[in-house]
């Protein structure tokens, strides 16, 4: 999964999108001037290869790439406080926020938001209010409803950052976070939302963390066959798509250059690798990397969105408009607390 530099597809990018190892693109704020331009950009990608998976990080709160022409989704960590701790009410609100986020993206023919965040809020500043709660059971309950809302709009769910990024302070975008806790501590706390939602078959995708759990395995989770195969695939019986986190992040640097990082991630068990904000890295992978001959067992294209379902929901409008108002109310209440 590669990215695009600007508001249109360049000639070089158009050539790269045809490469058989490109399975999707991830969009950023720089790709969106307004909704009509964004829709035209997506159409231009579809004209090149209609089957590509088009994704974005559009969680809500501070991680929402598109704002002009889109509803502002509240931070997930604001939902329960705004509901004054009423978990039943917060679950209803989470479902409508998931629906709202997904339906507006799908209406632009964008398949996937890498959401929800299943990290349990702890000491991580980069997670913070991106997490639903500091309680694993509350994260599980609220995330499940958020996913139901996404699914009702026609979008699959990708939980991140497995097995949990909330209990380590360093930001893997700029550093190599190390979590020294035991396997029992990680499994009993951070991993619980993943275990619960995989068990209830709510997750179609998972994105692992660029975190080293040093007392468990020497490799960051996204480059660890222990975490991705032994724990995620075998112990938790996850049968969906594993996306790497961005290979350009500092937390991926242990594996060397992009060729080394790609090999390590694929060997560990990732089905699709993300390369963002580095066209040189994309070019290296498409021209120099020795791609595995075998097709991935779990194809990311199975996560394409149901745009017909989302457009029908928008035409009916009542739920969409109510969800828009709810999102504004949650943000307003949270700001007053």
The catalytic site residues sit at 173, 245
d(CA 337, CA 327): 16
Residue indicated by tokens 């995620």: 232
The end-to-end CA distance of the chain, in Å, is: 40
Query: If you write DSSP's letter for every residue of 66-110 in order, what string do you get?
Result: --TTS--PPPGGGHHHHTTT-HHHHHHHHHHHHHHHHHHHHTTT-
For 90, phi then psi, to 5°, come to -60, -35
Interacting residues of 100 by C-beta distance below 8 A, sequence separation 6+: 71, 73, 149, 320, 323, 324, 326, 327
Q: Is 4 helix (H, G, I), strand (E, B) or coil?
A: coil
Residue 124 tokens read as 């991580």
Asked, as a colleague might, if the bond just before 180 is cis with ω within 30 of 0, I would say: no
């Amino acid at each position: 999964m590669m990215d695009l530099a600007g508001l249109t597809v360049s000639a070089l990018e158009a050539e790269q999108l045809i490469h058989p190892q490109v399975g999707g693109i991830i969009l950023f704020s720089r790709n969106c001037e307004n909704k009509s331009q964004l829709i035209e950009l997506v159409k231009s990608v579809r004209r090149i290869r209609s089957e590509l998976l088009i994704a974005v990080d559009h969680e809500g709160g501070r991680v929402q790439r598109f704002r002009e022409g889109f509803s502002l989704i509240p931070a997930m960590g604001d939902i329960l406080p705004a509901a004054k701790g009423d978990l039943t009410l917060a679950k209803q609100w989470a479902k409508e926020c998931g629906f709202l986020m997904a339906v507006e993206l799908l209406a632009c023919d964008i398949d996937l938001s890498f959401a929800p965040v299943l990290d349990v809020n702890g000491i991580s500043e980069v997670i913070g209010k991106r997490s639903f709660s500091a309680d694993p059971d509350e994260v599980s309950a609220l995330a499940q409803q958020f996913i139901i809302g996404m699914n009702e709009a026609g979008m699959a769910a990708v939980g991140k950052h497995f097995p949990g990024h909330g209990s380590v302070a360093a930001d893997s975008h700029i550093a190599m976070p190390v979590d020294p806790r035991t396997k029992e501590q990680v499994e009993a706390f951070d991993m619980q939302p993943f275990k619960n939602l995989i068990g209830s078959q709510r997750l179609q995708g998972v994105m692992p963390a660029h975190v080293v759990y040093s007392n468990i395995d020497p490799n960051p989770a996204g480059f660890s066959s222990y975490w991705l195969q032994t724990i995620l695939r075998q112990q938790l019986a996850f049968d969906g798509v594993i996306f790497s986190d961005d290979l350009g992040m500092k937390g991926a640097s242990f594996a060397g250059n992009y060729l080394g990082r790609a090999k390590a991630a694929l060997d560990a068990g990732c089905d699709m690798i993300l390369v963002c904000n580095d066209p040189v890295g994309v070019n290296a992978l498409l021209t120099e990397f020795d791609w595995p001959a075998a097709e991935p067992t779990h194809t990311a294209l199975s996560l394409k969105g149901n745009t017909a379902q989302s457009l029908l929901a928008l035409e009916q409008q009542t739920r969409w408009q109510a969800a828009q108002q709810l999102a504004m109310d949650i943000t307003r209440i949270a700001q007053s607390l």
